[in-house]
Structures are given as C-alpha cells and as structure tokens.
Amino acid sequence: MDVIVTVDTPPTQAAKRATSTIPIVVAVSADPVGAGLVESLAHPGGNTTGLSLLAPGTDQKTLEFLKETIPKAKRVSMVVDPQNRGMMRRVEAIKTAASILKIEFQSMPVLNKEELLSGLVTLTNLPPDAMMVLSPIYAAYGKEIFDFAAKNKVPICCDTIGLARQPGVLLSYGVDIAELFRRAAIFVDKILKGTAPANLPVEQPTRFELAVNMKTAKALGLTVPFSVLALADEVIE
C-alpha cells in the first residue's frame, strides 16, 4: 500500500511496529508526541504525521464547563483504556484539573466488555454525579455506558461536538472529529504527490466548540446557568 491511515494511538503504534517505510497518517490522536508517535509536532520525523485531537488544556476545559453547569458535582467517573498511552496522558491532565476544581475523579480501567459491565455494576451502588466519555471509549463501549447513565440518571459530557446530540449527553466540548478526517485526506494527498511525512508538521485544532443539550438537562431536572449557555456554540433544544 502507499499510505496507511490510522485512528487513535494503539492502531498507530501497531502500524509503526509493522513498517518504518510506508507513510502513516494519524487522523485522530490525543497526544502524538507524548505517545511516542512522532518526534515533535513541527518535525514529526520518521514515517508518521497527522492530526492531534487536542490542544493543551482541552480536557481540563471540558471538566470546568461540567463543574460550572453542575456546581454540586463532587464525583466524576470516566472509563479508560489502560493500554492506550495517549488516553492515559489525558487522564493525568484531567486528574490535575479535578483536584483544582475539588472534584473526586474516578478512572475505571477496562480492557474488554466483561470488565466494563462488572465496573458499571459496582458504580450502580453509588452512581457518580457525572461521567466523562472520550470518543475512543464511546466507539468501543458507548451503548453500555449510555445505558448505565440513562438508568441511573447520570449526565454525560463528551470531548467532541459530534456526540452532543446523543441521548444522555449534557454537554460536549472539543473539535469536530469529522473535520479531522477531512483534513487527514489532505495529508494523504500531499504524501501521494511526493511529500515525505517527516516534512509535514502535525496539525493541532484551532477551533473548539461547546454544545449544550437542553433536552438532557430538562430530562435530568438540571438548570444550565446562563454563563454556560452564553458561551455555547450550539444549544440543542
């Protein structure tokens, strides 16, 4: 093949183990430098380049919006993949923000659906005040997590505006992942025309959008502060 396109850290690591010569374009990656996918954003080096899902502070800002929306929130849970190096770096950043906001942050490491269901049963005994769901986790376990949230009336916040309309999502803050995929096609085009991946700087998003789902807020009996609504790029009625 002429180019490999990957999504998220683990598949990219697998591709890098398989080849050091075929160009790899990462369509979505949380922290390509921290996860060891590229040498630096400006000078990727090697055969890998692409796009980052985050800019510094994105996940922390999501938690800040959640706390502002639900001031009484004391416990926030998040399902994580402990084998995803990029995701675990995000977890550390969220822990730091949670400590500042005086929130007890609970990360639930799961490697398969059985572990997830077992963990959710435990959470049922004392449901959190909210859950953060990252897009890779939604892709893997979205149905199970959203079913749990619906049964226990737990609001959800997400990291991409593409999930804002999902039932149970109260707010989302982040980039439009669909736009990252469109940008990835531009990287592929440049590589096919002869540009080396090492010479294509990794792109970081410049536009982040906040969406508030008022349907979820009303269903859960929550009043969204005007300060949050005033900042929202989209309010879903």
Which has more confidence, 176 or 200?
200
**φ/ψ of residue 124, rounded to 5:** -60, -30
Mean pLDDT of 58-77: 95
pLDDT at 57: 81
CATH number of this structure's domain 4-54+176-199, picked from the four choices 1.10.240.10, 3.90.1150.10, 3.40.50.2300, 3.40.640.10: 3.40.50.2300
Arithmetic mean of pLDDT, 208-219: 96
Q: Is the pLDDT assigned to residue 122 strictly greater than 90?
A: yes
Residue 40 has pLDDT above 80, yes or no: yes
- Rounded CA-CA distance 36/85 in Å is 9
The answer to whether domain 4-54+176-199 and domain 58-175+209-236 are alike in fold is yes
- Residue 11: pLDDT above 90? yes
| 183 class by beta-carbon count within 10 Å (0-12 exposed, 13-18 middle, 19+ buried) | middle
Give the integer Cα–Cα distance in Å for 168 and 16.
37
Mean pLDDT value of segment 205-211: 91
Give the residue from 69, 75, 25 showing the smallest Cα distance to 46: 25
In this predicted structure, what is the pLDDT of residue 206? 85
User: What pLDDT score was predicted for residue 85?
Assistant: 87
pLDDT at 15 over 70: yes
Taking the alpha carbons of 130, 60, 79, 172 in that order, is the dihedral positive or negative?
positive
The 10 Å CB-count burial string (b at 16+, else e) for 161-175 is bbbbebebbbbbbbb
CA distance 30 to 191: 22
| pLDDT interval class at 232 (50, 70, 90) | very high
pLDDT averaged over every residue in the chain: 94
**Residues 6 or more apart from 101 whose CB is under 8 A from it?**
63, 64, 67
Strand order in the sheet with 24-29: 4-7, 24-29, 48-52
Q: Rounded mean pLDDT of 98-124?
A: 95
Please check the confidence at residue 19 and state whether its pLDDT lies above 80: yes
Q: What is the CATH number of domain 58-175+209-236?
A: 3.40.50.2300
**Tell me, what's the pLDDT at 55?**
66
| Percent above pLDDT 90 for the chain | 86
Question: pLDDT digits over 133-186, tens only?
Answer: 999 999 999 999 999 999 999 999 999 988 999 999 999 999 988 899 999 999
* Cβ neighbourhood burial of 77 (10 Å; 0-12, 13-18, 19+): buried
Domain boundary assignment for the chain: 4-54+176-199, 58-175+209-236
Backbone angles phi, psi at 6, to 5 degrees: -125, 165
pLDDT of residue 31: 86
